[in-house]
Every structure is written in C-alpha cells, then in structure tokens.
Amino acid sequence: MSDYGKIILGLVGFLVLCTSPFWYQVLSSDGLPAPELKLPVGEQGCVESKEYMRALHMDLLNRWRDAVVRDGERIYVSTSGREYQMSLTGTCLGCHTSRADFCDQCHTYVGSENYCWSCHVEPINLRVEAR
Amino acid sequence: MDKRKRSFLKVAGSSIIGVLGLGWVRPVTAAQVPGATRKPVEALTGKRLALAVDVKKCSLEKGCSACIDACHSRHNVPTQLQAEEEIKWIWKETYEHAFPTQAHRYTESTLKQQAVLVLCNHCENPPCVRVCPTQATWKREGDGLIMMDQHRCIGCRYCMVACPYGSRSFNWQDPRRSLGDQLNREYPTRMKGVVEKCNFCAERLVFGEEPLCVAACRSKSQALLFGDLEDPDSEISKTLKERHSIRRKPALGTEPQVYYLV
C-alpha cells in the first residue's frame, strides 16, 4: 500500500471539487443575494396567515385551480371569514402587482420554475416580454 | 438446509422493515386548505344548458360577425393565424358544410350557401370526453357543459380527431405571439401544445351573465337563444316546441345541444 497517501489526496481533491459551488458561495463576498420581497403597501394581510402562505401557498393555489376549473366555484371563504374571488391574476396579482418583485424573488432563488405565466396574464410585465 | 433458512430470514427481515417503513410514506391526496370554497350566489345554472341559433334572423350573411368578434377578442383567440394553424371557438360555415347530411343535390342554392354559425355543440354524448386520456375535458355535472382544463391537457389531440364538428383547435404556436397588443388581460391565454374550444362562457355563467355571443347578438339580430332545456318555461324550451329545429350530424348519436331554427 505505497499509494495510500496519493489515494487519500485524490479523494480529498475530488470532494473539494464536488463541493466547490458551496465553498464558493460561502467564501465569496458577493454571493447570491437573498430574496427581497416587495410587499403590497396598505394591506391588512394575505388571504391566509403569513406563515401558511409562506409554507403552503402552492396547496392553496392548487385548490383554487381545482375549485374554479373543475367545480365551477369562484369564492374562497378564508379562516378569518373574509371572502375572496379565486383568481390568480385578479386577486393574487391584484395586490402583489409585480411577479418579478414577488413570485420570482424566491422562485428564482431556489431555482423552482413555475409555469403559471405561460397562460395566466401578469398585470405589468407581460407586455414588455411579449415584444 | 442452512442456506434456505438464511435466505428466508433475509426476506422476512426486509419485509418487516419495509412494512414499518410504510408508516413514513405520506399518501398523495388533494391539497387541504384552511378555508372553504363555494359558487357565487348569482351563478346562472340549469340542468341542460343549450343554445338555439335562429338561422333566419342571423345576419352573418350580411357581414355581421358581432358574436364571433366578441368571443374571440375576449377569450384571447388569435385571429391572424394561417388556415392550417387556425384557432376557432365560434365561426361561420355554409349550410352545406354545417349540415352535410341534410343538404342534397337539389337543395335550393340560397340555403346551400347560407352562412351558418357553428361552435362546440356541448354534446349530450361527447366523443371528445370519451377519448381524453387525462380527463382534461369532461362533461360538467349539473348543466352538461363540455369543459376543458388547460392545466391537464397534454396536447395529444385525440379529442380533435373524435369531434365530428371540428370544434376543437390546437395551439401550434404560443398564441401570445400573434395576439400582441390585442391581449385581453382579464382572461388567460393558452400555451403552445394544448387544445382549446368554446366553453359556453363558463367564466361568465358563474357570475350570472349569459355567453358573450348571445349578449353581442342581443343588440343586433337577436338570433341567439341561450337557456335551460330542462326548464319547460325557459324561452329556449318554448321556442324549440313551437318551431322546427335541426342539429348537426344527428345520426352520429352525439346529441348536440346547439339547435338551429330553420
């Protein structure tokens, strides 16, 4: 086993190479900027609690989609008793007026692509992209 | 003997671990949300919604296209596409082509060339629904409308082959490319690779408004009647009882729910 040292060195080198993106993030000063959400001004709160929306907004959106498309329902009665129209463009983007300043902040950060916008219309940014 | 005992213990052991492991598996279920969903109270409902087209009153022949324009502009249906990529929800056809089994060699030429309004027939026995592999299109319980779920459509186009009326169109390209500035921001577009068709304005019915084509015609020729056929007192039921009406390709047994008063 005269190559013992070489093998260990090779393995260490391999591990460092594999994990280099993480080291790069940690060590570089201008790493990936954290998401900065622009929240709507003057609103009391979202459809459900902030904690729920943050963790499970995708469940809510899926339920809204099924309710509207499959069951022909349009009204959502939240736990606070307030009624909302289930509409991505109308209700969600009615407050969060910019996809880039809200949705994309986290979705781009974690690399999770959503394909809502290939059909649903954004209030502001679409016109620019379409050209 | 020893070897068989050993392999038995291996299988038994891993099975027990496997069964215990199932406890951690979360079944895939529909998303649970804290709030409740419901229909708006003003929703226009009916047990069998249908449309009657008064071919005598309709002014398609005279160049009117109010119903078609209202539908296509509101629903973001691109109108500038080449014929082979055309998308249509509601359009104009000659009598001869709309009713191939009802026209013959000696049908009067005025009727033969008569412009007829055609759209999805929202059939009682929809062949498109039978063939859809993803249940992206289905017959709605309650009012019998043939619905489309663009989220589920995989663009296989079986439904287009199955529909005997050519009521379904495929998006060969991103519709936004040709919509440009005409995009209606209050209604979604479709995406490349899905099928679309008339939905009898389900998005309006749910808020108690009649379909756009009917609303557009009301101030023009009043040739369109929309209502519930299961309700004997509805205007459409009364009219169909009084006047002769025909349907497209009735022999196929699809039971179209668009009636033509001729």
- Domain assignments of chain B as residue spans, ordered by start: 49-261
Decide if B42 touches A, using CB distance below 8 A. no
Q: Which ipTM value was assigned to this complex?
A: 0.84
Structure tokens at A123: 């209030």
Q: Who has greater pLDDT, B130 or B19? A: B130
Decide if B191 touches A, using CB distance below 8 A. yes
Decide if A124 touches B, using CB distance below 8 A. no
Whole-structure pTM value: 0.83
On chain B, the residues whose CB falls within 8 A of the CB of A86 are 37
Residue A82 lies in a domain: yes
Q: Report the pLDDT value the prediction gives residue A16, as an integer from 0 to 100.
A: 93
Give me the helix-helix angle, A20-27 and A4-18, nearest 10°.
60
Residue A79 lies in a domain: yes
pLDDT in tens, B174-190: 999 999 888 998 899 99
On chain B, the residues whose CB falls within 8 A of the CB of A65 are 151
Residue A19 lies in a domain: no
When the candidates are 1.10.10.10, 3.90.79.10, 3.30.70.20, 3.30.420.10, the CATH number that belongs to B49-261 is 3.30.70.20
CA B1 to each of CA A6, B4, B8, B229: distance values in angstroms, whole numbers, following the listed order: 47, 5, 11, 77
How many CB pairs (< 8 A) connect A and B? 86
Q: Are residues A110 and A82 in the same domain?
A: no
Q: Are residues A101 and A131 in the same domain?
A: yes
Residue A37 lies in a domain: no
pLDDT in tens, B31-49: 688 999 999 999 998 999 9
Q: HSE-up of B150 (CA within 13 Å, CB side)?
A: 23
pLDDT tier, A124 (very low <50, low <70, confident <90, very high otherwise) = low
Lowest mean pLDDT among A99-103, A121-125, B214-218: A121-125
Lowest mean pLDDT among A36-40, B59-63, B95-99: A36-40
In sequence order, which residues have a C-beta less than 8 Å from that of residue B172 and are 6 or more positions away?
B85, B192
A 45-84 near B (Cβ less than 8 A): 47-48, 52, 56, 58-60, 62-67, 69-79
Separation CA A99–CA B165 (nearest Å): 40
Share the mean pLDDT of chain B.
Answer: 93
Decide if B34 touches A, using CB distance below 8 A. yes
Cβ atoms of B152 and B134 within 8 Å: the answer is: yes
Domains identified in chain A, total number: 2
The strand pair at B258-261 and B49-54 is best described as parallel
pLDDT in tens, B76-87: 999 989 999 999
Separation CA B97–CA B164 (nearest Å): 12
pLDDT in tens, B197-213: 999 999 999 999 999 99
Lowest mean pLDDT among A109-118, B133-142, B215-224: A109-118
pLDDT tier, A64 (very low <50, low <70, confident <90, very high otherwise) = very high
Q: Which of B179, B191, B202 sits opposite A72 (nearest CB)?
A: B202
Which regions of B2-64 does DSSP assign to beta strands (E)?
A: 36-38, 49-54
On chain A, the residues whose CB falls within 8 A of the CB of B147 are 69-70
| Residue A67 pLDDT greater than 60, yes or no | yes
Give how far A49 is from chain B: nearest CA, Å: 10
Q: Can you tell me whether residue A22 is helix, strand or coil? A: helix
Domain range enclosing A119? 97-131
In sequence order, which residues have a C-beta less than 8 Å from that of residue B95 and are 6 or more positions away?
B55, B103, B107, B111, B112, B113, B114, B115, B116
Structure tokens at A21: 């993106």
| Residue B1 pLDDT greater than 70, yes or no | no
